[in-house]
């Protein structure tokens, strides 16, 4: 088990957003967290990625273990050193920098220059739309392209696990399918992925396992395939 979260409770002020949730991610898996708005899935990811403490949220209880060691309370930048990369909600690319500079910033903490440029080529090959735009400022990119850039930037860290927070938000439908295909490709190349998604059908299509959140708790947990076949899931999320 790469990531092991147990009995996590988190709140925003007086509001409890997560009640004793437990989930885990095994090496090589794609794991998805789905559920309606406000169900707590994004909070769970933010708790793991160190973002929660920069907002008004607090982790009240629980264990967060990565490779067997606790990462609870570590800041987002400290997690980079542990091999955890984040493609944050809303993409958050460096709008004043070019695509190339964004990717270079992704390798900020790395010392091995040669393999950095290798990875740069890999990312640009993975996301062809970025290849032709390396000198353009990130603010000129479409939302879909920015999402690619955010993921590419995270990949530049050669992470052990990639966390993606609502990658489909704001994207046009063809980009959504493309991004999720890319996730599959990234995973085949050896990167473990944990993602939070509104778009349940796409998330379930590509994930090995998934957790369904509702009102701060996990109500279902199964393989992606089984969840897709689950009539309740179909009714609630897949519009059947």
Partner 1 sequence: MIEQVLANGLIVGTIYALTALGFTIIYRTVRFFHFAHGVVYACGAYFAYSVLRIAYSGGGPPLHEATADLRYATTWVVAIFAGVIGAGVLGVVIDRLVYKPLRKRKAPNLVFLLASFGVFIFIQNLLQLIFGAQILTIRAGPVKEGHHFLGAVITDVQILILVVSSLLSVALWVFMQKAKLGKAMRAVADDRLAASVVGINPERIILAAFAIGSALAGAAGILISLETNIEPTMGMNAILKGIIASIIGGIGSIPGAMFGGLFLGIAENLGIWKISAGWKDCIAFVILIAFLLLRPGGIMGIKTEKEQL
Residues that bind partner 1 in the complex, under the rule CB under 8 A: 50-51, 54, 56, 75-78, 80-81, 85-86, 88, 92-97, 101, 104-106, 108-109, 153-154, 157
Give the dihedral of Cα atoms 150, 152, 158, 159; nearest 10 deg: 40
Q: Which is nearer to partner 1, 77 or 223 (CB)?
A: 77
Q: What angle in degrees, to the nearest 10, is found between the helix axes of 99-106 and 143-155?
A: 30
> Minimum Å distance from CB 94 to partner 1?
5
> Minimum Å distance from CB 105 to partner 1?
5
Helix (H) or strand (E) holding 93: none
Q: Which is nearer to partner 1, 44 or 155 (CB)?
A: 155
> Minimum Å distance from CB 18 to partner 1?
21
> Minimum Å distance from CB 159 to partner 1?
11
Question: How far is Cα 59 from Cα 48, in angstroms, rounded to an integer?
Answer: 10
The answer for residues whose C-beta is within 8 angstroms of residue 47's C-beta and 6 or more apart is: 8, 10, 18, 57, 59, 64
Q: Which is nearer to partner 1, 96 or 174 (CB)?
A: 96
Strand, helix or coil for residue 78: helix
> Minimum Å distance from CB 154 to partner 1?
7
Q: Which is nearer to partner 1, 5 or 52 (CB)?
A: 52
Q: Which is nearer to partner 1, 91 or 209 (CB)?
A: 91
User: Residue 197: beta bridge partners?
Assistant: 34
């Amino acid at each position: 088990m790469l990531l092991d979260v147990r009995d996590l409770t988190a709140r925003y002020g007086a509001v409890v957003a997560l009640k004793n949730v437990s989930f885990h991610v095994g090496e090589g898996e794609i794991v998805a967290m789905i559920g309606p708005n406000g169900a707590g899935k994004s909070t769970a990811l933010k708790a793991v990625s160190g973002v929660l403490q920069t907002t008004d949220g607090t982790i009240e209880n629980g264990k967060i273990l990565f490779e067997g060691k606790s990462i609870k309370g570590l800041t987002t930048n400290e997690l980079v050193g542990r091999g955890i990369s984040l493609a944050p909600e809303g993409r958050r690319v460096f709008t004043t920098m070019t695509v190339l500079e964004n990717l270079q910033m992704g390798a900020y903490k790395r010392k091995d220059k040669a393999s950095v440029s290798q990875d740069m080529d890999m990312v640009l090959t993975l996301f062809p739309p970025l290849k032709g735009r390396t000198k353009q400022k990130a603010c000129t990119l479409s939302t879909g392209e920015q999402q690619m850039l955010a993921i590419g930037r995270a990949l530049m860290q050669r992470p052990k696990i990639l966390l993606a927070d609502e990658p489909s938000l704001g994207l046009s439908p063809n980009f959504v399918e493309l991004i999720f295909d890319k996730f599959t490709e990234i995973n085949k190349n050896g990167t473990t992925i944990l993602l939070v998604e509104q778009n349940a059908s796409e998330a379930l299509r590509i994930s090995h396992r998934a957790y369904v959140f509702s009102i701060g708790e996990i109500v279902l947990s199964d393989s992606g395939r089984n969840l897709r076949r689950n009539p309740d899931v179909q009714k609630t999320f897949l519009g059947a």
